[in-house]
Homo-oligomer: A and B are copies of this chain.
Amino acid sequence: MAETSFLHPDRLFPISSTQRDICRDLYNGVKDFPIISPHGHTDPRWFAGNANFSNPTELFIIPDHYVLRMLYSQGVSMEDLGLKPKDGGDYETDPRKVWKTFARYYYLFAGTPSRIWWDHVLSEVFGIKTPLSETSADAIYDVIDAALASDAFKPRALLDKFNIALIATTEGALDDLSHHRAMVGSGYEDRVITTFRPDDVIDASKPEFAVNLKKLGELTDCNTQDWSGYLDALRIRRQYFREAGRATATDHGHPTAQTADLSAVECQTLLSLCLSGEATEADCELFRAQMLTEMAGMSVEDGMVMQIHPGSYRNHNTKLYERFGADKGADIPTAIHYTEALQPLLAKHGNDPRLKVILFTLDESNYARELATLAGHYPCLKLGPPWWFHDSPNGMMRFRDQVTETAGFYNTAGFNDDTRAFLSIPARHDVARRMDCVYLSQLVCEHKITLDEAKRILVDLTYNLARDAYNLNLPRKSVQGQSAQGQSAQEKSA
């Protein structure tokens, strides 16, 4: 095996040496900053129980929808990737064989962010000196498998190794937060917090909606068939998430960004219809729309930051969904809109200084047209980073290119990794930091901003904007010897 890393220190940096020198200078200022991961899908059980991870395939391949989708697109079956079909059919149970299938097709990821993340994990987390290929697959499997069994690779040790200041998991509204509660007293409880994700008790198109509302009623002692009882139940669960899971934010994964502002009477009628099982898809859409506005209203009351992640057609491949379930790489974006969709919510709460809403998109045609223009006006709105398929070097450049000229940097919310792939978190933040340096170094070279300004903005993009956007109890960072910028007017005056 080779002696040095196969990662180039200048990876992702620009080709021009003038710009690259500035880019490196900027990067060196933030590359070792603590990681803030304010939105994601890691499993709280890991950090509560702190048990070793099982094996490379269980940890890395089976839950990685980017990997599943790419190999499936090239004719590799889910069974060969180790996924157990619900119909009881055969599937590969030898994790090493699955790993070797993955290695054989690793060339497919050329030009994709998965390749960058994987290479980073192999090289920087496991110290592997040879790129992954069919030839090296076995030896690499052994290295990772051994490492995962060691104390140094237990979840909490990795939190420390990765320098993660804070990570937020995401739980459904009915979750008991037992893992978050179990962490109290461990010293990790303030570093691992939850997020309130109430889709299951808001989206009436889900078959289990009525059952979920029954459970919600039982958990909260509220009559969830009654509109005001239902809202009270949600308030109680939000409070529970703040107290038992230190949640500072909610998250909403609706098919669209539609909002509504109906009367209480209309709301009761709609709720009853949804509970009856007779609601059409249009009724469900209207109910979700109303509930986004209600959630914004509760955020005004309780200070929780609202995240909206709209526009994914979930489980598009119906046969695959039936056999293997959700999150297998078959969620596909659709075209959506924000300007008209968000107007009812914004008309009601958009000027309230207590509200923060972070908007995400899978439809980049909204970046310049609707998202930058909305966030560049409404005080409650911030733009989340490029999401999911767009969490990639070119995706990040398109975001900055199309957003910055209208919304600036200070209406954005820093980086989210939004991942369940815990070991890739440093890789993902490293990509984001590098691409911010690429963008800022270009502004410097084009004489749009000075190098000093770039350094200050970079500190904010890397750290302060995420901290501020999510109301996190963490110290702010500043460029040494320079005054901080980037505080919002409210905070400055506070």
Which residues of A are interface residues toward B (Cβ below 8 A)? 7-8, 10-16, 18-19, 69-76, 105, 107-113, 115-116, 313, 316-320, 329-330, 332-335, 337, 339-340, 343, 346-347, 350-351, 353, 362-365, 368-370, 372-379, 381, 389-390, 392-395, 398, 401-402, 404-411, 442-443, 445-449, 453, 456-457, 485-486, 488-490
Contact = CB atoms under 8 A, between A and B. Distances in A.
Nearest first, the 4 closest Cβ-Cβ pairs linking A and B are A75-B489, A8-B447, A11-B447, A392-B405
A366 B387 CA distance: 16
B109 A446 contact: no
B340 A334 contact: yes
B329 A316 contact: no
A488 B377 contact: no
Nearest to A364: B368
A15 B369 contact: no
Given A75-B490, A404-B111, A340 B362 contact: no
Contact of A379 (B72, B347, B443, B449): B72
19 contacts: A7-B447, A11-B446, A12-B447, A15-B19, A69-B376, A73-B377, A73-B381, A75-B488, A107-B486, A109-B408, A111-B449, A112-B405, A112-B408, A115-B449, A317-B346, A318-B347, A365-B369, A389-B405, A395-B405
A482 B192 CA distance: 48
Contact of A108 (B73, B375, B410, B449): B410
A389 B373 contact: yes
Contacts of A69: 376-377
A113 B292 CA distance: 34
> Which of A16, A75, A329 lies at the interface centre, i.e. has the most chain B CB atoms within 10 A of its CB?
A75
A353 B481 CA distance: 62
Nearest to A491: B75
A282 to B, nearest CB: 15
Contact of A370 (B15, B334, B411, B489): B334
Contacts of A443: 110-111
Nearest to A17: B18
B489 A13 contact: no
B339 A334 contact: yes
The count of identical subunits is: 3
Contact of A15 (B12, B18, B74, B76): B18
Nearest to A390: B368
A176 to B, nearest CB: 34
Contact of A457 (B10, B110, B372, B390): B110
> Which of A15, A116, A442 lies at the interface centre, i.e. has the most chain B CB atoms within 10 A of its CB?
A15
Contacts of A334: 337, 339-340, 369-370
Contacts of A453: 107, 110
B447 A377 contact: no
Contacts of A108: 408, 410
A448 B14 CA distance: 12
Given A116-B448, A406-B112, A449-B110, A379 B337 contact: no
Contacts of A456: 107
A404 B369 CA distance: 21
A372 B405 CA distance: 23
Given A339-B313, A339-B332, A448 B372 contact: no
Contacts of A10: 447
A117 to B, nearest CB: 12
Contacts of A19: 15
B107 A485 contact: yes
Contacts of A110: 408-409, 443, 448-449, 453, 457
A376 to B, nearest CB: 5
Contacts of A71: 489
Contact of A377 (B12, B330, B339): B330
A404 B112 contact: yes
A335 B389 CA distance: 21
Contact of A332 (B317, B333, B377): B377
A329 B377 contact: yes
A465 to B, nearest CB: 12
Contact of A70 (B116, B340, B343, B376): B376
Nearest to A366: B335
Given A15-B445, A18-B15, A317-B378, A401 B394 contact: yes
Nearest to A392: B405
B374 A332 contact: yes
B335 A319 contact: no
Contacts of A410: 74, 108
A22 to B, nearest CB: 10
Contacts of A405: 111-113, 389, 392-395
